[in-house]
Chains A and B, each alone.
Chain A
Amino acid sequence: MTNATAVLDARNLGRRYGRRWALSDCTLSVPAGHVAGLVGPNGAGKTTLLNLATGMLAPTTGTIEVLGGTPASGPQQLARVGYVAQDTPTYAGLTVADHLRFGRHMNPGWDDELAQRRIEQLDLDPQQKAGKLSGGQRAQLALTLALAKRPQLLILDEPIASLDPLARREFLQVLMDATAEQELSVVMSSHLVADLERVSDYLIVLVASRVRIDGEVDDLLAAHHLLSGPRRDAASLPSSQQVITESHTDRQSTFLVRSSEPVIDPAWTVDQVSLEDLVLAYMGRAAAGAPQGRMLEVKQ
């Protein structure tokens, strides 16, 4: 069953390295037209999932379709997907201009005007060797390479994890401008929720190969509520309110609930949830007892 508007559609997807499963039984569908943030703890299978989506890996079990096609199945499919790999590799010995020439020769849909303009905006010296660029500049070059091939879907695997906050912000700015300009769908993995919050309008929380929650960020935020009030038992909440996390003191209870209806019980103080709270809540719930600090590195 293929969702025609899905940019990424995985069914029972699994990938094994030797005896270890890096991803197992993952089912996921990302609709088109979003900047989707893929978030999860280290080892959740994010990179494996993205490698499967770009065809860098073949699945051990299950199926994955990207833009309705098998990943890396041919030049057309490759042309439709842009990929910025982890640590944003570039050819150290080639100049910035060489990289653009590389892109032009490797991609029939190459938009040279766009590439040149971006290099100019980034203030990169075309004759500079990529090996001499800063981490942020290298990431920008890798992004330019991926954008100028004019993909329909851009996949980024932790592109900014190793950058300083300023370079991170600039990278995300360029990414946001490009998605607005190019009608591009984006799937970007990160463990920095705050960064995703800035650019993503769609969220996927992946924990231990499983999608804990996914959906448009606005819908998710609207459907989750932070309730605090006098101590009471979770079982006493109405059935329309699904408890995600709960914590209790002697006299007070705090619940994070999912509910499509507004919470009208006057006993509660109802607060908005932040995206970060939401992500942490779902990851914490999945971990069920594991210390949260180990599950997520919030580098802020």
Chain B
Amino acid sequence: MIWVSWRQFRPQAIVAAAALAVIAVLLAATGPGIVSSYRSAGLATCHVNCGASASNFINGVGGLDQALFNATIVIGYLAPALIGIFYGAPLIAREFEAGTYRIAWNQSVTRARWTAIKLGLVGLVGVAAAGLLSLMVSWWANPIDQAAGLGGSASLQRLDPLVFNARGVAPLGYAAFAFAAGVTAGVLLRRTLPAMAITLVVFAAVQFAMPTLVRPHLLPPAHTTAPLNAQSAGISITGNPGSPPVIRVTGNFSKPGAWVLSDATITPSGAALTKPPAACLGPGQNAGPQSSAGGPGQCISALVDMHLRQYVAYQPASRFWPLQGIETGIYLILATGLGVVCGWQVRRKRP
């Protein structure tokens, strides 16, 4: 049965192996260069106030390396989806389409075992491929991730949703889930192409919902409320004619590597700042501090007088692995549940 599953799956396995090999060669060729420039930037031994040199290092990553970095993120998103579409969806749907399930189910192997071994073997290969990819990418991008964690970038830290999905163990969970979703769609629809389409839609929806709706709450976010230093804060006031101007005071929250979930300027009562002080408003409806009567200085001192505070909810950098672990667990549980549904469905399937 293992040979049978392997024989049927061989072409797809070869494609994955070839793709991984190409990626491995590219990453192995460019990885050492990134490590050495990371070292020469002194970041390997830097412990305090490394933000500036980390930022320099990240800005210095360019050309092929930058393209590769972006590509690995895209591949990180794509790989589990491809596993679901090309490994999962056809796995059993193709047997229905070609009618070969009628041979398969009449050998000396029960349907339950047939399903379990097919799912287990191909699923394992898919998960292993995703794991290998993540391992290679995580190794290659490690200097950049470290530099971002030191404050070198506001958007490339590992906890940022864009990067998070292509690092660590989470891709294993994504691959397992996408694969199981593909197989389930194939079993329910009995057609490969519609199953592939459904797999893509479902997986994309879940991958969108996870970082936006679920991941921020997997662990209770940390939060700080700090007095706002209006002198150093960035102030922007925008507005459209006819509507009240929106004021935004960007604080100087600084926790390298943290994933900021919400950042609000609040008044001492705890309410969000909605109405800018008069000193910040010019004669026009949407005028900013530049055009206000007293100039920017008066606006800032008016803001200082309001005793504004900055409220930030965030996941600190140290939560990377706990969040990865929890999320991987969730996806693995979902995948297992779908696997059970598949087994049950195959058992009660009729010709």
Contacts and interface: CB of A to CB of B under 8 A. Distances in A.
A54 B100 contact: no
A291 to B, nearest CB: 30
Contacts of A94: 7-8
B103 A78 contact: no
B102 interface: yes
Contacts of A92: 98
Contacts of A35: none
Given A56-B350, A94-B7, A109 B108 contact: yes
A79 B351 CA distance: 20
Contacts of A103: 107
Contacts of B344: none
A106 B127 CA distance: 26
Interface stretch (A81-89, A113-121, A247-255, A258-266): A81-89
Given A98-B7, A101-B3, A89 B98 contact: yes
Contacts of B8: 91, 93-94
A58 B102 CA distance: 15
A87 B103 contact: no
Contacts of B3: 101, 105
B105 interface: yes
Interface in B319-351: 348, 350-351
Nearest to B3: A105
Closest 7 pairs (CB-CB, A-B): A106-B107, A79-B108, A89-B99, A85-B102, A83-B106, A107-B108, A105-B3
Interface in B39-71: none
Given A102-B7, A105-B3, A106-B1, A56 B102 contact: yes
Contacts of A79: 108
A78 to B, nearest CB: 5
Nearest to A145: B103
Contacts, number: 78
Interface in A51-105: 51, 54-58, 72, 74-76, 78-79, 81-83, 85, 87, 89-94, 98, 101-103, 105
Contact of A87 (B99, B106, B107, B113): B99
B109 interface: yes
B90 to A, nearest CB: 12
Contacts of B98: 89, 91-92
Contact of A106 (B100, B109, B348): B109
A90 B95 CA distance: 10
B24 to A, nearest CB: 28
Given A78-B110, A106-B1, A109-B108, 10 more contacts: A57-B350, A75-B108, A85-B103, A87-B99, A89-B103, A91-B98, A98-B7, A101-B3, A107-B108, A149-B107
Nearest to A131: B98
B351 A56 contact: yes
Interface in A155-214: none
Contacts of A101: 3, 7
Interface of B: 1-4, 7-8, 98-100, 102-111, 113, 348, 350-351
A108 B108 contact: yes
Please indicate which of the listed interface residues A57, A81, A102, A149 has the most CB atoms of chain B within 10 Å of its own CB: A102
A140 to B, nearest CB: 14
Contact of A85 (B4, B99, B110): B99
A254 B83 CA distance: 70
A142 interface: yes
Interface of A: 51, 54-58, 72, 74-76, 78-79, 81-83, 85, 87, 89-94, 98, 101-103, 105-109, 142, 145-146, 149
A91, A92, A107 interface centre (most CB from chain B within 10 Å): A91
Contacts of B103: 85, 89-91, 142, 145
A54 B106 contact: yes
A198 B26 CA distance: 67
A139 to B, nearest CB: 13
A90 to B, nearest CB: 7
B99 A107 contact: no
A1 B288 CA distance: 94
A90 B348 CA distance: 22
A106 B108 contact: yes
Contact of A74 (B4, B105, B107, B110): B110
Contacts of A54: 106
A151 to B, nearest CB: 9
Given A56-B350, A105-B4, A106-B4, A90 B107 contact: no
Contacts of B1: 105-106
Contacts of A142: 103
B7 A78 contact: no
Contacts of B105: 55-56, 72
B340 to A, nearest CB: 19
A103 B3 CA distance: 11
Contacts of B108: 75-76, 78-79, 106-109, 149
Contacts of B100: 89-91
B350 to A, nearest CB: 5
B93 to A, nearest CB: 15
A146 B105 CA distance: 12
B287 to A, nearest CB: 71
Contacts of A145: 103
B60 to A, nearest CB: 50
